[in-house]
């Protein structure tokens, strides 16, 4: 079952990874209209939340994460290093995939202050759609942003 769920997660994440492959350093400060979030912020935020899910939801203790976008609560303009952002996105993918592969009971209920009580299966749906949601925002910033 875990292999099927990893395949589902990987496919859902392609909305993000395909954009990341096309992102240039000059894109990172772009915003779409009055949007509060730059492309760099969105990339960092996606990776951070994936890492938080791997660690706090799926229990992968080895994950190292300082959730700067969540701590700041807004785009501070500091996410402009493309290589660093890409490395973080690869790290988050690796860690979340490992966390998914280690799960044994997808019906186990977990509780977080962010989204309350969910089964692990529901939490996987949540992180998959979170990444896709922000990937959609990233796509608009890359296409129309200035």
Q: Please report the pLDDT score of residue 23 as a whole number.
A: 98
User: At the topology level of CATH, where does 2-144 sit?
Assistant: 1.20.120
Residue range 80-99: mean pLDDT, rounded: 98
Paired with 119 in beta bridges are 109
Q: Residue 59 — φ and ψ, nearest 5°?
A: 75, 25
Q: Please report the pLDDT score of residue 113 as a whole number.
A: 86
- 10-36 per-position pLDDT tens digit: 999 999 999 999 999 999 999 998 999
3-state class (DSSP) for residue 102: coil
Question: What tokens were used for 82?
Answer: 């493309």
Q: Please report the pLDDT score of residue 146 as a whole number.
A: 94
**Rounded Cα distance, 68 and 81, in Å:** 14
DSSP code for 116: E
- 38-89 per-position pLDDT tens digit: 999 999 999 999 999 999 999 999 999 999 999 999 999 999 999 999 999 9
Q: Please report the pLDDT score of residue 11 as a whole number.
A: 96
DSSP H/E element including 118: strand 116-119
Q: Please report the pLDDT score of residue 56 as a whole number.
A: 94
- 112-145 per-position pLDDT tens digit: 888 899 999 999 999 999 999 999 999 999 999 9
Q: What is the DSSP string of 29-74?
A: T---TT-S--HHHHHHHHHHHHHHIIIIIT--TT-----HHHHH-S
- What separation in angstroms does the CA of 85 have from each of 32, 44, 45, 119, 130? 19, 6, 10, 30, 18
Q: Please report the pLDDT score of residue 12 as a whole number.
A: 94
Domain ranges of the chain: 2-144
DSSP code for 123: H
Q: Please report the pLDDT score of residue 16 as a whole number.
A: 98
Q: Please report the pLDDT score of residue 114 as a whole number.
A: 84
**Rounded Cα distance, 69 and 60, in Å:** 21
**Rounded Cα distance, 144 and 146, in Å:** 7
Q: Please report the pLDDT score of residue 124 as a whole number.
A: 97
């Amino acid at each position: 079952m875990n292999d099927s769920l990893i395949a589902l997660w990987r496919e859902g994440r392609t909305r993000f990874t395909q954009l990341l492959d096309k992102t240039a350093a000059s894109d990172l400060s772009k915003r779409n209209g009055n949007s509060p979030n730059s492309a760099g912020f969105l990339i960092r935020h996606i990776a951070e939340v994936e890492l938080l899910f791997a660690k706090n939801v799926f229990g992968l203790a080895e994950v190292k994460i300082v959730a700067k976008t969540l701590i700041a609560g807004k785009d501070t303009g500091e996410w402009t290093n493309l290589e660093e952002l890409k490395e973080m996105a690869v790290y988050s993918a690796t860690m979340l995939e490992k966390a998914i592969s280690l799960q044994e009971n997808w019906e186990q209920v977990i509780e977080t202050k962010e989204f309350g009580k969910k089964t692990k299966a529901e939490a996987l749906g949540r992180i998959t759609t979170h990444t896709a949601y922000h990937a959609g925002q990233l796509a608009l910033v890359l296409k129309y942003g200035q």
